[in-house]
Amino acid sequence: MPSGSIEVESKFEAGPDTEARLAALGAAPAGSSSFRDLYYDTPDLRLTRADHWLRLRQGAGWELKCPPVLVPPPAMATTYQELTSPRAIVGRLCGVLGVAPVPGWDQVPGAVAGLGLQEFASFVTQRRSYRLGGLRVDLDQADFGYAVAEVEALVGAQEDVPVALEEVLQLRRALGRDGATRVPGKMSIYLQRHRPRHYQELLLLSWVKPASSAAPTEASAQI
């Protein structure tokens, strides 16, 4: 079994009634937070081109999201393996970049420096969270003027993904958000606006779906 957990999530556009609907469904408020994410890649974008997302999240530390080896989820959801242990993160980075780990890279900052990774995105998210059973709902507002919400489940093994996926999509539907439009995450919009060449490079890859042009631009009223 791979290290780390598998995140099953579906993003949606929150509406003015989303929090009332969450309360009516029995979801419990799980707090508010504000954090900065810094994302890193090689100058020639070899991590993100391989769908690997290394970030330093304020208050949480280093995290690496990478595609798990499984059947692609339906269009309305994504699954990513989430690594948080320094050893697992550095091992995976070295694997993707084809580099042998060096002593001193047992902590992520050493490997980031040694591998020549550079920051390519930095933004602050204000988040309100809810819990319902094993699911979590996050209502995010990014400081570059984009709001997005997500229903998320974390599972420990690949065989648990189908059930989690069904639960995630069921809650999304219960929140009245079962439209066919794929809602882009914060990073897609950030890249489109602030790193358009990086975004275009990723669009050339088969696994990237273009962010809908209908994506809301200013959505602070939604959360």
Task: List the end-to-end C-alpha distance of the chain, in Å, as a whole number.
Answer: 37
188 binds ligand V4E (CB under 6 A): yes
54 binds ligand V4E (CB under 6 A): no
- The residue range among 89-97, 109-117, 154-162, 180-188 that interacts with ligand V4E, by the rule CB under 6 A, is 180-188
Cβ–Cβ < 8 Å for 37, 184: no
185 binds ligand V4E (CB under 6 A): yes
65 binds ligand V4E (CB under 6 A): yes
Cβ–Cβ < 8 Å for 36, 122: yes
208 binds ligand V4E (CB under 6 A): yes
The residue with its CB nearest to ligand V4E is 185
Contact pattern from residue 118 through residue 157 relative to ligand V4E, giving x for each residue in contact according to CB under 6 A and a dash for the rest: -------x------------------------x-x-----
**Number of chain residues interacting with ligand V4E (CB under 6 A):** 15
202 binds ligand V4E (CB under 6 A): yes
64 binds ligand V4E (CB under 6 A): no
Give the helix ranges, DSSP H, for the chain.
18-24, 46-49, 86-97, 108-114, 161-174, 186-194, 196-203
Cβ–Cβ < 8 Å for 70, 149: no
| 175 φ/ψ angles, rounded to the nearest 5 degrees | -85, 5
Strands 118-132 and 28-41: antiparallel
Task: Identify any residues that bridge with 62 across adjacent strands, giving them in sequence order.
Answer: 56
191 binds ligand V4E (CB under 6 A): yes
Tokens matching residue 21: 């609907």
Contact pattern from residue 91 through residue 110 relative to ligand V4E, giving x for each residue in contact according to CB under 6 A and a dash for the rest: --------------------
- The residue range among 23-31, 89-97, 179-187, 215-223 that interacts with ligand V4E, by the rule CB under 6 A, is 179-187
51 binds ligand V4E (CB under 6 A): yes
DSSP state of 160: G
53 binds ligand V4E (CB under 6 A): yes
20-51: buried (b, 16+ CB within 10 Å) or exposed (e) per residue? Answer: ebbeeeebeeeeeeeeebebbbbeeebbbbbe
80 binds ligand V4E (CB under 6 A): yes
- Interface residue list for ligand V4E (CB under 6 A): 51, 53, 65, 80, 125, 150, 152, 185-188, 191, 199, 202, 208
